[in-house]
A = this chain, B = another copy of it.
Amino acid sequence: VPARVAYLLGLGDDALVYAQRLGEWLTNAPQIEEDMALGNVGLDLLGQARTLLTHAGEVEGAGRDEDDLAYLRDEREFRNVHLVEQPRGDFGQEMARMLWFASYQCELYTALLELPTSDETLRGVAEKALKEVAYHRDHAGQWVLRLGDGTEESHARMQAGLEAVLPYLAELFDDDEASRWAAEAGIGVLPSTLHDGAVAHVRAVVQEATLDLPEESRWRSRGGREGIHSRPMGYLLAEMQHIHRSHPGASW
């Protein structure tokens, strides 16, 4: 896959896979308002994913549309980070993941908008998505506050949620070959440049929530952008792709 396509797929796959995980909250949220809110976040990400995958397919020029890319690629061809493919934990863990991921995406889309990019589609995504992910970040932040500064139990669980996502954070800011190429070419940004901004935002929320920001992880995830995934990914794809793959060539 050419680097430009790979870069777009990385952005799109993150959004797609996280949308898939968030869809699992519908009917499982702690209150009905959250069924709606998490559904909304999932829908926003799915929307971003669709535009990004469609665009990646067009740039590639091999005739693959959004569904070909979502349903007919194998695990090794998906370029999302491990954070988004992890199974649904409890609500605190989800808020920790969402706070981090949305903070990362806020920095990402902000930086993309600041580029004198020649990729108008990508600029369009960034423009629309920035408003969305700012809301996601705020929504998760509100919950981190409520849970951190709520009851004793919720404080402990929210802290545990922050610890649970910790090993998957470094990878968000890894510069891979595709992003290096994209930054060089002026159409993308180096993930490493997004680190400080994202951390600053999360740190402020976590402190206000009377929680501790964990910083030491015995291990860290690696390689999602090269198609090296964690165990849950294959099962996620099996579920997501099964019906589509069961009817080769069908329209829906």
For A237, list chain B residues within 8 Å (CB).
242
Q: How extensive is the interface on chain A, given as a class?
A: 10 to 19
**Interface residue ranges of A226-252 to B (CB < 8 Å):** 234-235, 237-239, 241-243, 245-246, 248
For A241, list chain B residues within 8 Å (CB).
242, 246
Give how many copies assemble into the complex: 2
**Interface residue ranges of A184-243 to B (CB < 8 Å):** 234-235, 237-239, 241-243
Q: Which of B238, B243, B246 contacts A239 (CB 8 A)?
A: B238
A241 to B, closest residue via Cβ: B242
Cα distance, A239 to B248, chains bound together (Å): 18
A74 to B, closest residue via Cβ: B246
A73 to B, closest residue via Cβ: B246
Q: Tell me the minimal C-beta distance from A178 to chain B in angstroms.
A: 24
Cα distance, A68 to B239, chains bound together (Å): 20
Q: Tell me the minimal C-beta distance from A146 to chain B in angstroms.
A: 32
Contact B245 A246 (CB under 8 A): yes
For A74, list chain B residues within 8 Å (CB).
246
Q: Tell me the minimal C-beta distance from A42 to chain B in angstroms.
A: 19
For A245, list chain B residues within 8 Å (CB).
242, 245-246
Besides A234-B242, A242-B245, 14 more A-B contacts (Cβ < 8 Å) are: A74-B246, A235-B239, A237-B242, A238-B238, A238-B239, A238-B242, A238-B243, A239-B239, A241-B242, A241-B246, A242-B242, A245-B245, A245-B246, A248-B248
The 16 sampled A-B contact pairs (Cβ below 8 Å) are A74-B246, A234-B242, A235-B239, A237-B242, A238-B238, A238-B239, A238-B242, A238-B243, A239-B239, A241-B242, A241-B246, A242-B242, A242-B245, A245-B245, A245-B246, A248-B248
Q: B-contacting residues of A (Cβ < 8 Å)?
A: 74, 234-235, 237-239, 241-243, 245-246, 248
